[in-house]
Structure 1
C-alpha cells in the first residue's frame, strides 16, 4: 500500500462554512481522493495533515503553530516512505493581519517545497514527488470570518499563476483547483460539500497519472 500526504489548511480539513464543524472523512476531498484511488485499484492511504489557519511560512500572531514550514521536515521523516505529497495552502497568507500578495505567497510555497525535499529521511528512501494544488480564490468573506479575511480578494489575485510558476521552476506537478471548484457562497473562503466531492474526484485522475 502506498501512502499520500495531504498538507493543507481548513479548506482541506473540511471546515463546514459558517460553522465550526467538520465534514466526515468520506465527504472531504482527501477522503474522496482515497476512496476514488482505491476503487481504481491503486491501493493507497491518504494521510491528512490539515491545520486550520496554516500559512505557508508565516506565523499567526494570535495562534501558535500556523507556520507551515515549521515541523514539516519531521512530518515527512515520520511518514516516510511517501509516494506523493499534495500541498494545498495559501489562502491564510492573505488574512487581514498580513500584507502579502500572490508573489510572496508563491515564495512561501517554494520554501515548503524545499523543506519537503530536504527532510532527513532514511538513506535510500525516495524523496516523494510533490503535487501543488492552488486553492480557489476567495470571494467577499462573510460571517464571523469576515474581519479575519478582509481584503483577501485583492491580495490573492493571481495566486494560481504564481503557484504554477513556482511549481514549474521546482519541477513539481501542478493543479489549479479553481479551474473546477469555487469558494463557498456562504463564507467566501471555504469549500461547500459538493465542491469537496468535485475536487476529490478531479484529483483522482491527476494523482493516478503521477503514481503510474
Structure 2
C-alpha cells in the first residue's frame, strides 16, 4: 500500500528559486526529489505556498495561514506522514512576533492536527515531522521586510525542537546541514534542495522502519 507524505510549508517547500524568482522544476525541488528518493511505495504531496505563516494571515494574500489551509489536505488524503516546514514568514517585521509566539503557532497547528484525528473513528493519525527553518541573512532585497529577523531566527530551532518533543513529533533542523547564502538570504538554492531531500529521505525511512 502506498504511503502518503504531505509536505506542508512555505516558498522553500514550494521551491522558489532565489535567483530567478520562479519555481524550481520537479528535478530540483526537495519535495519532488523526496518522492524520487523514496520510490514507488511512497507518494509525496507538495503543499508549499509562498507567504504561508503559522500565526497571522499575511495582508492581501488571502487565507493561507497554516491552520486555515491544512484541513482540506487532511480531508482529501489518508496520510502517513506530515512534514511541517514553516516559521520563516512569521519573522517578518510587520507581524512583530517573538520566537516564542511563533512556536505557540506551531504548537496550535499540531494540536489542530491531533484533534482532527481524534475526532475520526476511521483515520489513523500520521507521524508528524517538524522541520526547523534555517537561519536567514537579511540582504538588501529583504532588509525592510525582515528587519532584525536574522536575530530572531537563531532562536527558532531551539523552541521548535521543544514543541516537537512536547508533542512527540519527529524533528529535523535544517541548520544542521545547510547555510542560507547571500543570494537573497531567505530561499534555498538548488544544491540545498538536494541536501534537504537526502536528509528527509533518511529520516522518513528511519521512522517508517521503526514505527
User: What's the TM-score once normalised by structure 2's chain length?
Assistant: 0.92
Matches within 5 A, 1:102-141: 102-119=99-116, 122-141=120-139
Q: CA deviation at 1:131?
A: 0.3
Q: 1:147 aligns with which of 144, 147, 150?
A: 144
Q: 2:50 aligns with which of 49, 52, 57?
A: 52
Cross-structure match for 1:14: 15
SS of match in other structure, 2:25: coil
CA distance in 1, matches of 2:31, 2:83: 10
In 1, are the aligned partners of 2:134 and 2:153 still within 8 Å (CA)? no
Note the aligned Cα RMSD (angstroms). 1.5
Q: Which runs of 5+ in 2 are unaligned?
A: none
Superposed, 1:11-90 pairs within 5 Å as 11-38=12-39, 43-79=41-77, 81-90=78-87
Distance 1:98 1:57 in 2: 9
Separation (CA, whole Å) in 1 of partners of 2:130 and 2:10: 14
In 2, Cα distance between the equivalents of 1:78 and 1:36? 24
Task: State the aligned residue count.
Answer: 207
Decide whether the 8 Å contact of 2:8 with 2:48 is kept in 1. yes
List per-residue Cα deviations over 1:22-62 (Å, max 9, x = no partner). 10122111111111111xxx610100111100001211123
**Residues in 2 aligned to 1:207 and 1:63: alpha-carbon distance in whole angstroms:** 32
| SS in structure 2 at match of 1:49 | strand
2:103 touches 2:163 (CA, 8 Å); kept in 1?
yes
Following superposition, the deviation at residue 142 of structure 1 comes to 3.4
**2:51–2:89 contact (8 Å) kept in structure 1:** yes
Residue by residue, what CA displacement relative to the aligned partner does 1:11-30 show, whole Å, maximum 9, x if unpaired? 11110114320101221111
- TM-score normalised per structure 1: 0.92
The answer to whether structure 1 residue 171 and structure 2 residue 168 are counterparts is: yes
3-state SS, counterpart of residue 47 of structure 1: strand
